[in-house]
Structure 1
Amino acid sequence: MKIIIRLTILSGLIFLVSCKSENGKTELKESYSLSEQEMLQDFEVFESIYKKANAGLYKYHSRSEIDSVFSKNKAEIKDNVSYREFYNILWNVIDYTGSCHNELTYPDSLDSHLSKQKIFFPIPIKYLENKVFTNLEYKNIPIGSEIISINNVNANQFVTSIARYVSTDGFNKTGKYKKIETDWLPFYIYLSEGKLTQFEIEYKAPNSDSPKKSTIESVSYKDFYANYNKRYSKEFESKFNNDYSYQWIDSLSTGFLEVHTFAMGGPETDGHKKYAAFLDSVFTTLKTQKVETLIVDVRGNGGGNDPNDLLLYSYLTQREFKENTSAFTLFQEIPFQEYYIDDDVEELKNDLKEEHSILKEGKYYQNNNFNKVWKSRENAFHGTIILLIDPYVASAGSLFASLVKSDENTVVIGEETLGGYYGHTGHIPVNYELPNSKLHLTFSIVDLNQDVTQLSDEKFGDGVKPDFKVGQSYQDFMNNRDTQLNFAIQKIEKL
């Protein structure tokens, strides 16, 4: 993903004026040249594309429920609706459908235009124990201060309003709240609240019960990002930047395997080959040493390339398995090509005809040539697996986590993943541009059911849920301690 979210419109469509809001703060109002008719046309194009090409559109909701959401939001389009409000109307539908691969982004020109303006919230935050805390000392506001309200809006209500811009699988909420800690925060606030020149923060400093207020000026995105790079939690979070590693915890006689991404490249790449050799070496060592407990840490793993997730699982299971029990798309030839902006029209058509060749009830299913049966590796691990997960785990990351949780020798510690347990809509992303607003619509076109066990604690639409729900505590945040790993170590000590 780009550091700067695509929040743009063609530069000739926008002008700005200043006015006073009801609470007396200076607020920048926006006017655009999009007419009601142009917005209606874009909405209709969006609806047609989603219904024709999005295989996961009815995964979590009935056809009548989806139709109702389209109708309800289309009715919100009026001549005085701003561009940002029009974005929100479209996003209401997209968010409701429930897929972590869904995106709606402005075209690149306003991306640059908006990013230079001083309209953004300046302070990175942490969301811990259902509360919001500052993640940087800023002006007179100390690190770790609890934010009570922003612009007279209760912090929990404020967070709910911005977390909706995070797309998750199914009905998951945990991932929505966790991702507001990232460098996307100021844009989520902009999309929710519009352009503001200042923010009034009510907060309580650490070890204080006395609320204080501070008015802080808005900043450019560049300035926010500089603050984000100085955030207090950066040192702790940097541990998830390494792609993969292994170490031996001698005091516990336990292996510790970290795999924080599956983006090492496809099967023919040097990155994949290096990763494959690494795994074989690790699991040969584990078998030789007759290790009985292994911590597998996939926190922060947002996915990556096939077959890196399945290869790792083949070293952790004793069963035969597939990536999915079924996978389908709605087309072989790309619909609405006049709005399609990728340059792979013929290539994608040929690939889909080769891989999704089984037509059944209007859906093109994947054939077995592309969904092979995997077998357990000769040096696969047979002991107890402690799996560490968090809300950032998605796509191939959550598929892997769901497979591991399905096995009886696994204990899962952490927080519910952003990606689904039973399935997701992924594999092949497509990009469309709406004709008048130039908004970019991105989604994946293959809906799949994962090869997992039905579990009593996993409902359809859930992410991968932990056996022990453990998030970082406030005190551990302030001391840069790893709450989840420490909990896992304590569990192993009791084994």
Structure 2
Amino acid sequence: MKKAILLVLFFLILMSCRSVKNHNEQITKLHGVADIHEDIDKAYSQLKRHHPKLYQYTSKEVLDFKFDSLKRSIDTPMDSRAFYKRLAPVVAQVKQGHISLGSANKWYTKKERKQLLKRKLEFYALDFEYLDNKLWVKNTRGKDSTLVGCEMLKINDDLVSDLITVYKTRFASDGYNNTLHDRYVGRHFSSFYYKDKGYVDSLKVAFKNKDSLFIKTFKRIQKKETSKKQDSTKIKKRIKRTSKEKKASRLAFKKKRKFNRRHGYIKKNKEYTRNFCFVGTDKSIAYMKLRSFTNGNYKRFYKGSFAKLDSAKTKNLILDLRDNGGGRIAEIDYLYSYLATKKYKFIEDSEVNSRIPFLKFLMSNTTPNTIKVLSGIVSPIIVVQNLMRTRKRNGKLYYRFRQTKIKAPKPLHFTGNIYVLINGNSFSASSLISTHLKATKRAIFVGEETGGAYNGTVAGIYKMYELPNTKLKIRMGMMQIEAPQKQYPDGYGVMPDIEILPTIIDRNLKKDPEFDWVLKDIKSRR
């Protein structure tokens, strides 16, 4: 039995190494024109098959022309990375923010990954922000804090301004607004650069700090490892703890773990997804910063936070949705139940292109075979559930979520003044809850237009399809998620009541102009 298990493991490792080798050969070789054209047709056909609002912002005639023009323009072989740079701008013309195209990145064996993890390039520890048409270092998770506040001008032989212009063409916001482009390209500049250039061992970067120019070379270096073997002279004698101390330590650990789950701890950045505090000592103003609607036990967080607001008789709530890229529908519905003051319907039935959308999602060609087998086993249950929730109306298919039911606000719902801080990175779910608060005139919005559309977005569940020849992966939403309220013209985000655009001067002075305006407005109202 033991020999059989070892034999199976050996073959699995062999197959894994072989698949890595095959993948890397496939993405680096030159693909023939016919293969490239086939992948273009496959990408467009997948969008037409699964995306329910493909022509919402760009007409069928225009998209047909874009994809046909791309085919005609490619008349020589190219590798997968070069093809990504040609296909991504055409896919972005759909103008649906949840559609994305992944670049062709090299795969590594387990041994190679282990070695790579031992080395780091500190360039990727920098956080960027695009302000005043320039790329600035906003923060660093590395050691060189002197770079914070510097403008980045050039990477190797490429001007940063040229890179920004190109990268903006490779993704889309919802509709016609441009605020997402500036915010997103800054926040994810490192990812775009990796997609563009791949794995590099060194970078020569030109920075500007006020009037001085300087060049910094980033090299991939070994991470410092703490030795497991300690100097015997430095080993301290372990102090034996009492049972009472051990119990107190266990309780403290459990308490911290619960706190991290409730607030959604992000280990990489050492920060929390959900944050709540009072501003000032009188507790008349509360501040809730939500970085996303993804990880953690959100129900306990909101239940506890709004209980505190009710107990303190707080009159003003600042809800910060800046740089919130979205997340779970269930979470924003739950949050809104504490912000609404009357009965509401959170979303409409979702338009789909199939009666069995969840099975289509599970049976994509990128889904691991084990998941496909399990999905096949439970497929009768999935199909029945999908068919029960899907209805045809006016020639279109609609899927019904639980959030389509009319609900009443929570007993401890907040009745005071609400201020919502938004920017171009307020996308998807954060735009959806903003639509409700804006339409019901429940809040004052401060900042800039959201990157997500007021009239909804195609998301919900996603189809991830791998193109057969170039191995690029295209991701698309499969469900139109929208609030009952609408605005016209279509294709724009939630607009601020007070438009405030931060500058690099604000960042250097560590000022938050949107937050400061809210505090001044509350003070003037008093």
**TM-score higher than 0.5 here?**
yes
Deviations 1:271-325 (CA, angstroms, capped at 9, x unpaired): 2542453255145336xx2x43221222333222232212222222334332234
Q: Which residue of 2 aligns with 1:260?
A: 291
- More divergent stretch after superposition (120-129 vs 295-304): 120-129
Q: Which residue of 2 aligns with 1:214?
A: 215
Contact kept in structure 2, 1:120 and 1:195, CA below 8 Å: no
Q: Which residue of 1 aligns with 2:45?
A: 48
1:313 to 336, 339, 342: 336
2: CA distance, partners of 1:40 / 1:154: 32
The 5 A counterparts of 1:328-407 are 328-333=351-356, 339=365, 341=367, 343=372, 344=375, 346=379, 349-361=383-395, 363-367=396-400, 371-407=404-440
- More divergent stretch after superposition (446-455 vs 197-206): 197-206
When residues 239 and 140 of structure 1 are mapped into structure 2, their CA distance, relative to the original with a 3 A threshold, is closer
When residues 414 and 422 of structure 1 are mapped into structure 2, their CA distance, relative to the original with a 3 A threshold, is same
1: CA distance, partners of 2:461 / 2:467: 20
Partner SS for 2:215: strand
Partner SS for 2:329: coil
Partner SS for 1:353: helix
Deviations 1:339-389 (CA, angstroms, capped at 9, x unpaired): 36363463654443222222432x211348661112334443333211112
When residues 220 and 373 of structure 1 are mapped into structure 2, their CA distance, relative to the original with a 3 A threshold, is farther
Contact kept in structure 2, 1:391 and 1:417, CA below 8 Å: yes
Partner SS for 2:86: helix
2: CA distance, partners of 1:93 / 1:249: 50
Q: Which residue of 1 aligns with 2:280?
A: 249
2: CA distance, partners of 1:185 / 1:366: 36
- C-alpha root-mean-square deviation of aligned residues, in Å? 3.9
Contact kept in structure 2, 1:199 and 1:216, CA below 8 Å: yes
Q: Which residue of 2 aligns with 1:204?
A: 208
The CA deviation at 1:423 is: 0.8
When residues 391 and 56 of structure 1 are mapped into structure 2, their CA distance, relative to the original with a 3 A threshold, is same
Q: Which residue of 2 aligns with 1:432?
A: 465
Contact kept in structure 2, 1:383 and 1:409, CA below 8 Å: no
1:483 to 500, 508, 513: 513
The CA deviation at 1:329 is: 0.3
Partner SS for 1:302: coil
2:300 to 274, 280, 283: 274
The CA deviation at 1:50 is: 0.8
The CA deviation at 1:442 is: 1.7
- More divergent stretch after superposition (189-198 vs 168-177): 189-198
Q: Which residue of 1 aligns with 2:324?
A: 301
When residues 168 and 381 of structure 1 are mapped into structure 2, their CA distance, relative to the original with a 3 A threshold, is same
2: CA distance, partners of 1:263 / 1:139: 31
The CA deviation at 1:445 is: 0.3
2: CA distance, partners of 1:360 / 1:222: 61
Q: Which residue of 2 aligns with 1:464?
A: 494
- Do structure 1's residue 11 and structure 2's residue 11 form an aligned pair? no
Partner SS for 2:446: strand
- More divergent stretch after superposition (109-118 vs 79-88): 109-118
Q: Which residue of 2 aligns with 1:101?
A: 98
**Number of residue pairs aligned between Structure 1 and Structure 2:** 446
Contact kept in structure 1, 2:389 and 2:399, CA below 8 Å: yes
When residues 215 and 474 of structure 1 are mapped into structure 2, their CA distance, relative to the original with a 3 A threshold, is closer
1: CA distance, partners of 2:150 / 2:205: 11
Contact kept in structure 2, 1:302 and 1:394, CA below 8 Å: yes
The 5 A counterparts of 1:19-168 are 31-106=28-103, 109-110=106-107, 124-135=127-138, 142-150=147-155, 155-168=160-173
Q: Which has the larger radius of gyration?
A: 2
Deviations 1:99-118 (CA, angstroms, capped at 9, x unpaired): 33223225775377899599
Partner SS for 1:45: helix
The CA deviation at 1:213 is: 5.6
Contact kept in structure 2, 1:264 and 1:308, CA below 8 Å: no
Deviations 1:72-104 (CA, angstroms, capped at 9, x unpaired): 222233333221121123312321212332232
Contact kept in structure 1, 2:466 and 2:472, CA below 8 Å: yes
Q: Which residue of 1 aligns with 2:310?
A: 284
Gaps of 5+ in 2: 1-18, 225-267
Letter in 2 for 1:312: L
Letter in 2 for 1:188: F
Letter in 1 for 2:134: K
The CA deviation at 1:248 is: 5.0
When residues 392 and 241 of structure 1 are mapped into structure 2, their CA distance, relative to the original with a 3 A threshold, is farther
Q: Which residue of 2 aligns with 1:25?
A: none
Contact kept in structure 1, 2:349 and 2:400, CA below 8 Å: no
1: CA distance, partners of 2:301 / 2:199: 45
Contact kept in structure 2, 1:84 and 1:194, CA below 8 Å: no
Contact kept in structure 2, 1:240 and 1:300, CA below 8 Å: no
1:171 to 168, 176, 182: 176
Gaps of 5+ in 1: 1-8, 16-29, 224-236, 266-270
Letter in 2 for 1:354: M
1: CA distance, partners of 2:315 / 2:121: 54
Partner SS for 2:53: coil
2: CA distance, partners of 1:239 / 1:127: 23
Partner SS for 2:507: helix
When residues 176 and 250 of structure 1 are mapped into structure 2, their CA distance, relative to the original with a 3 A threshold, is same
Q: Percent identity?
A: 21
Letter in 2 for 1:68: F
The CA deviation at 1:420 is: 1.6
